[in-house]
Amino acid sequence: MPEARPKELLRIRELQAFYGESHILHGIDLGVGEGEVVTLLGRNGAGRTTILKAILGLVGRRTGSITIHGIETIALPTHRIAHLGIGYCPEERGIFSSLTVEENLLLPVVVGEGGLALPELYGMFPNLLERKHSLGTRLSGGEQQMLAMARILRTGARLLLLDEITEGLAPVIVQTLRKLIGQLKEKGFTIILVEQNFHFAAELADRHYVIDRGTIVDMIPRDQLASSTGKLNQYLGV
């Protein structure tokens, strides 16, 4: 018997997104089930980050349909969307440099039940425990990325939007983050990863959506990844 698909958490249909007069997304259609990990692959400027921002209503204008837990969100403001249980880790990380690690962790509002408590977060990120009294300006790039991840896990968000979390980091930190994504998947989190390097989450992701010029040009399930390497290299220019 075929494996049952998980209940759909996010469904996007005919999504168009604009920054001013610039038309960035052209009819995006995709779905993500509860507990799934999917990646958005593509070259820089393809529209991957805009998809994440459009889910949260952080673009100038959007049309189409975005439902989260069956709730239509296309007309909702960002704070209402976030309270449906969404955590966003932007590419620039958004760490408050004048606050300590622990103050950064405690700052975001709770958007759902089941957020991880500080002891659990420090267990997952031992480096942050060692630096909990350090200001954001004193953290390395890897520590800042871990803090940005830990911060959204405390809020109770179950749908995580992660934008280029490995960019510019040392290989040992990338491996740590990869292990973390696996742990979060085991805990039942739903994750959308914007990545340029598909090797990072290749074995973790259930599906890979390839984005080019604001459209989805391909969708590659995990079981077809090995046979699609050449195609992916062509799409990504690697």
The CATH number of the domain holding residue 122 is: 3.40.50.300
Question: Span 33-37, mean pLDDT?
Answer: 96
Average pLDDT, the chain: 91
Range of the domain at 119: 36-57+79-236
Q: Could you tell me if residue 24 is inside a domain?
A: no
Question: Span 198-206, mean pLDDT?
Answer: 85
- Model pLDDT, residue 234: 83
Q: Which range, of 91-95, 118-122, 159-163, averages the lowest pLDDT?
A: 91-95
DSSP letters spanning the chain: -PPPPPPEEEEEEEEEEEETTEEEEEEEEEEEETT-EEEEE--TTSSHHHHHHHHTT-SSEEEEEEEETTEE-TTS-HHHHHTTTEEEE-TT----TTSBHHHHHHSSPP-STTPPPHHHHHHH-HHHHHTTTSBGGGS-HHHHHHHHHHHHHHTT-SEEEEESTTTT--HHHHHHHHHHHHHHHHTT-EEEEEES-TTTTTTT-SEEEEEETTEEEEEEEGGGSGGGHHHHHHHHT-
**What total number of domains does the chain contain?**
1
- Model pLDDT, residue 71: 97
- Model pLDDT, residue 191: 97
Question: Span 126-133, mean pLDDT?
Answer: 94
- Model pLDDT, residue 1: 46
Give 43-78 pLDDT, tens digit per residue.
888 999 999 999 999 999 999 999 999 999 999 999
pTM to 2 decimal places? 0.93
Q: Could you tell me if residue 133 is inside a domain?
A: yes
- Model pLDDT, residue 200: 85
Q: Could you tell me if residue 30 is inside a domain?
A: no
- Model pLDDT, residue 22: 94
